Chains A and B, each alone.
Chain A
């Protein structure tokens, strides 16, 4: 018999209540997570491609990156918001993706629980740290060698 490689389109999202596998307490979380992966993916294409283009392709590319380069970018709220959105969306998208993978491969309840606990802890630390770095950044730290600082810093 000929085997067709065509994959059928998913059917309607509405599922009769008697077929849902979980009580109402879990609500629509998995569906929202599924949707979030797609929406965040669309936005991330723009944010990450823009990030890579500006940091690797323009001017001297990676050679231009140093403290002064970062200070110059984050002096502009446009790049602060850009990086903030990229940080949050990429971390939440990546964390949810890794959560799916843990659910797929870790069979034991205990293993799954601990892997996810470590995952969520790492995610929380990185998101908080990255956010603080963007908003507490000081482009002209005192006692730093002037030649390392961006040109707009007041002369010491």
Chain B
């Protein structure tokens, strides 16, 4: 970390990168949600319209995008819990960096089984 400017407690370390990650994932999920409510609204147009659009979600390329979305939301969720701990738990601020490694560990623990299941379903057509 020799490049860290002297005198900063924050820049370029766990605190900053987790903040960047939280912000980027938060915005990405927000824009996804706008589109997602619109595509779900197609159930009010007709069963055909809904099925045609949802069918495009089932190809392997979209499966990768879905995996990216889930990766983003799982990170945002666990890091959000970390922020809550830092704010409300007496020892949270002291352990904020260790908590981030906890977030990363939990993220891997959830993502590995998720990816195995989701990609198996996506690439085998669910049968």
Q: Once the chains bind, are B93 and A9 in contact (CB under 8 Å)?
A: yes
Q: Contact at B30–A130, with CB atoms within 8 Å?
A: no
Residues of B within 8 A of A91 (CB): 33
Shortest C-beta distance, B35 to chain A (Å), equals: 10
B interface list, Cβ under 8 A from A: 6-10, 13-15, 23, 26-27, 29-30, 33-34, 37-38, 40-41, 43-44, 46-48, 50-51, 54, 57-58, 63, 66, 70, 73, 77, 80-81, 83-84, 86-88, 90, 92-94, 96-97, 114, 117-118, 121-122, 125-127
Are B9 and A42 neighbours in the complex by a CB distance under 8 Å?
no
Contact between A60 and B121, CB atoms less than 8 A apart:
yes
- CB of A1, distance to nearest CB on chain B (Å): 8
Residues of A within 8 A of B9 (CB): 3-7
Q: Hey, which chain B residues are within 8 Å of A136, CB to CB?
A: 44
- B51:A66 contact, CB within 8 angstroms: yes
What 20 additional pairs, Cβ within 8 angstroms, besides A9-B93, A64-B126, A126-B37?
A9-B90, A42-B81, A45-B77, A48-B73, A52-B73, A56-B117, A57-B117, A62-B58, A62-B118, A65-B54, A65-B58, A67-B50, A91-B33, A98-B26, A130-B40, A133-B37, A144-B46, A145-B47, A145-B48, A148-B48
The CA-CA distance from A91 to B96 in the complex, in Å, is: 28
A87 and B117 form a contact (CB under 8 A): no
**Given A7-B96, A52-B70, A56-B66 in contact, is the A87-B43 Cβ separation under 8 Å?**
no
Which of A6, A48, A63, A122 is close to B34, meaning CB atoms less than 8 Å apart?
A: A122
Contact B84 A38 (CB under 8 A): yes
CA distance A3 to B73 in the complex (A): 33
B23 CB contacts on chain A under 8 angstroms: 101
Q: For chain A residues 120-147, which have a beta carbon within 8 Å of chain B?
A: 122, 126, 129-130, 132-133, 136-137, 141, 144-145
Other-chain contact of B87, A10, A67, A90 (Cβ < 8 Å): A10
* Chain A residues within an 8 Å CB radius of B70: 52, 56
Chain B residue at minimum C-beta to C-beta distance from A123? B34
| With known contacts A63-B58, A148-B47, A90–B33 Cβ distance under 8 A | yes
Q: Is the CB of A41 within 8 A of B84?
A: yes
Evaluate contact between B126 and A63: CB separation under 8 angstroms.
yes
Q: When chains A and B are docked, how far (Å) is the Cα of A90 from the Cα of B35?
A: 13
**Docked-complex contact A5 and B97, CB < 8 angstroms:** yes
A50 to B4, CA, bound (A): 41
